[in-house]
A and B are shown apart, each in its own frame.
Chain A
Amino acid sequence: MNTILDVKDLHVSFKTYGGEVQAVRGVSFTVKKGETVAIVGESGCGKSVTAQSIMKLIPNPPGKITSGSILFKGRDLTKISEKEMRKIRGSDISMIFQDPMTSLNPTLTIGDQITEAILQHEPVVTKKEAQFRACEMLGEVGIANPKERLKQFPHQFSGGMRQRIMIAMALVCNPSILIADEPTTALDVTIQAQIIDLFKKIQRNTGVAIIMITHDLGVVAKLADRINVMYAGKVVESGTTSEIFYNPQHPYTKGLLNCVPRLDLERGQPLIPIPGSPPDLFAPPIGCAYSSRCEFAMEVCDAYQPGRTLVAEGHEVNCWLQDQRAKQVKFHLREKTYS
């Protein structure tokens, strides 16, 4: 498989009156053709900013990519002009957002909103052809009577259907990457499952690579090939989905896993929340950002950034516990063993 997106040491900050917020502090990850990569983390960890930076959609000012590179099929997106970027947006890389209720324009028909992406990027296509493709795409994402539905307005659809429309809109130009920023967060659980299945079906049919941004490990378990766990603007652990779920190395990853309700455990077991709150990114800590919340924190954690350790093939973690000199800890996971 060949890499189509390679994000290297990405730094993004926002200038505010209070100072500079370093929302993303050196994120690196890759996406290969046709795979699903998840970026997981709690609110404010920089995952959405990372996603929007790839599309160069962060509001500028105040946001700015301060360093790093985003290589898409060999081109560095941080260096190309806005005009060039517009050609990539919606045709090569497209994005869907968290809240389908507000992400569609209430005054335009959905047909209008889907076809305008086609007409923008493929000027040779006639309006009729575009409508035909929009119609097909709506059928693809599971909307009945697509022909009539094209003439309707967003308020005539439910939340789940609107998210399907957003997906149709994002895929109608056959992009090679689809960025989904918390696509299921605003939906109720049964609809979440349907949307996740829809992503899988679409990926099978079109081979699009998906970057799934979420705080919900339950969502990515079914969907992702690889997971990047983000904390305070950095990727703290990355690996294949099974490695992350069955062999988590970072205390934060473990903490996240303990927050997910499980059906295979005894009933009545409480979920274990992560105590404390993420650090202030106006002045990020010198050492490991998680040290103040970490139950295994050592002196070194406050003073120095942990390096990257390769745990297994493709499984990397940034944690001082991986150091030879560190004490051996046993994670108190919410079940007896991960086997």
Chain B
Amino acid sequence: MLKYIGKRFISMMITIWVIVTLTFFLMHAIPGSPFNQERNTNDTVRKNLEAHYHLDENLFVQYGIYLKSLLQFDFGPSIKQSSTSVNELLSRGFPISFELGSVALLFSIVSGIALGIFAALRHNGVIDYGAMTLAVIGISVPNFIMATLLIQVVAVDLKLLPVATWASYKHMILPALALSMSPLAIIARLTRSSMLEVLTQDYIRTARAKGLSPFKIVVKHALRNALLPVITILGTLVAAVLTGSFVIEKIFAIPGMGQYFVSSINDRDYPVIMGTTVFYSTLLIFLLFLVDIAYGIIDPRIKLHKKEGE
């Protein structure tokens, strides 16, 4: 197991390095620079600024400098907000984004799986059709429409919850709900179809022949097998929730990481672009790694490591 983790760690490092390299050169290939938009910079000032941020050096030298500071976990200073470093931006924005994202993800996983199971057990019944109609709506309505609808109905018309901003748990409900709709729908549909397939398997009949109760059969025998495909897509769903959160954060005026991600590209704020990209990709790669580990725990046939003599 340790050997496997070690191997995976090395390949994760390589993946991150590739992402860093690609992002770095692509970013510099975009025309413009952080100081272009400011009209009143004269040449001397700009030259000084460029020298300060090493932008006057050869691109490969810049790349070397960046890699060196990255190895010390230093993402550099923000060019636009010159008093703060990228590390500070991340540590300010990420906890908020993380809270929103994990609440949304948790909600979509739990209720998506529950909805999928009930739909499968009442196959072709009212619950099934109802759940699947909801799922189709969840998948086809983009989250920014869902967000504005929720704000209009729940916050403005019914006045049940606050409209926007980030202050209390009440403020969290609407953005989390809007963010979780589409992953919830995907999980529900996938759980339903894989549950339907598993319920026709021979080992379910064996379990029934043992005299087990329907509850035990579903929870102990069916669910575990039915969840494998769901776990497979969890990694990509996390990515969907993360990117979805950029839009949602904007709509609800939540001071998370999404704002930096979008504005940094327009501003050509190179260290912030790099910082957010590296941070998010590392997070995603790590989550995919966790998914692989979870796989091996749920399905014993999937061996992550080889034992001696096998």
Contact = CB atoms under 8 A, between A and B. Distances in A.
B210 A94 contact: yes
Interface residues of A, number: 29
A105 B221 contact: yes
Contacts of A103: 202-203, 205-206
A107 B298 contact: yes
Given A89-B210, A91-B211, A116-B210, A57 B205 contact: yes
Interface in A225-265: none
Contacts of B299: 106-107
Contacts of A117: 210-211
A57 B202 contact: no
A211 to B, nearest CB: 13
Contacts of A16: none
A305 B203 CA distance: 40
Contact of B207 (A88, A99, A105, A109): A105
Given A105-B221, A106-B225, A97 B206 contact: yes
Interface residues of B, number: 21
B92 interface: no
A120 B212 contact: yes
A87 B211 CA distance: 6
A57 B211 CA distance: 10
B203 A90 contact: no
A120 B225 contact: no
A167 interface: no
Contacts of B213: 86
A73 interface: no
A166 B206 contact: yes
Interface in B267-310: 298-301
B225 A57 contact: no
Nearest to B298: A107
A101 B203 CA distance: 9
Nearest to B303: A155
B106 to A, nearest CB: 24
A121 interface: yes
B201 A102 contact: yes
B30 interface: no
B122 to A, nearest CB: 13
B220 interface: yes
Interface in B194-215: 201-203, 205-213
Interface in B212-248: 212-213, 216, 220-221, 224-225
A105 B202 CA distance: 8
Contacts of B206: 97, 103-105, 166, 169
Interface of B: 201-203, 205-213, 216, 220-221, 224-225, 298-301
12 contacts: A90-B209, A102-B202, A103-B205, A105-B206, A105-B207, A105-B225, A106-B299, A107-B225, A108-B221, A120-B210, A169-B206, A170-B209
5 cross-chain pairs, A with B, having the tightest CB-CB distances, nearest first: A89-B211, A90-B211, A90-B210, A102-B202, A105-B203
Interface of A: 55, 57, 86-91, 94-95, 97, 99, 102-109, 116-117, 120-121, 153, 155, 166, 169-170
